[in-house]
Amino acid sequence: MTIDRKHLGYALSPFAVTVSPERLARFADAIGERNPVYRGEIAPPTFLKVLEGEDNSSRRILETLGVELSRVLHAEQQFDYLDPVRAGDELKVEPRVSDLYDKKGGEMDFFVMETSFTGASGRLVARSRPADCEVPGHDLPVGGRRIDGRRCASALRRRARAARCRAAPTPRRRPWSSGWPRTAVDVIH
């Protein structure tokens, strides 16, 4: 499962994207953003993640690294904004693998892809740095079970919590919680 270190520094060919007001509005709708500034003028902070994946760039990098998409866990995300990304901007997108490391004695491989966004003037506008992890296949829970058939710990915890809730006695309602009078004055009137 180890990702070959020869891929460190691997870069895709730069590609161009245009930030349209319609795409900004659709993205704002998708994330529930209500601020009118993000509805067609300025890109919401996480919009770069959409641009980063254009042209199937993320998938192509995963293929190069030999990582199956079904085994990828998004671990961290960092955005650096040097200028706001606005509707109408023509951006050059340059994704590359900037770091490879492992944890837990090589059980978990991490890869960091750094994507630079350059404006039409040639000035760097923003940078995106997602860190993703390739997790071992036998640890992926499927329907509360691991692929090897054993119970996943989180599924067992959920079942135990549900059983405790079913066994717990129903708390008695206090008279004032259901609209009954609360004070002596309420009783008199």
Instruction: Parse the chain into domains and list their residue ranges.
Output: 5-135, 138-168
Cβ neighbourhood burial of 129 (10 Å; 0-12, 13-18, 19+): middle
Q: What is d(CA 172, CA 175) in angstroms, rounded to the nearest whole number?
A: 9
Tokens representing residue 139 in the block: 């640890």
Position 96 pLDDT exceeds 80: yes
What's the maximum distance between 2 C-alpha atoms anywhere in the chain?
85
Fold of the 5-135 domain: Thiol Ester Dehydrase; Chain A (3.10.129)
Q: Hey, which residues does 77 pair with through a beta bridge?
A: 130
% of the chain residues with pLDDT over 70: 71
Position 39 pLDDT exceeds 90: no
Please report the sign of the dihedral spanned by the C-alpha atoms of residue 22, residue 28, residue 34, residue 39.
negative
Q: What is d(CA 176, CA 102) in angstroms, rounded to the nearest whole number?
A: 58
Position 156 pLDDT exceeds 80: no
Q: What is d(CA 29, CA 41) in angstroms, rounded to the nearest whole number?
A: 14
pLDDT-derived band at 3, boundaries 50, 70, 90:
confident
- Residue 96, classed as helix, strand or coil, is strand
Q: How many CB atoms lie within 10 A of CB 101?
A: 13
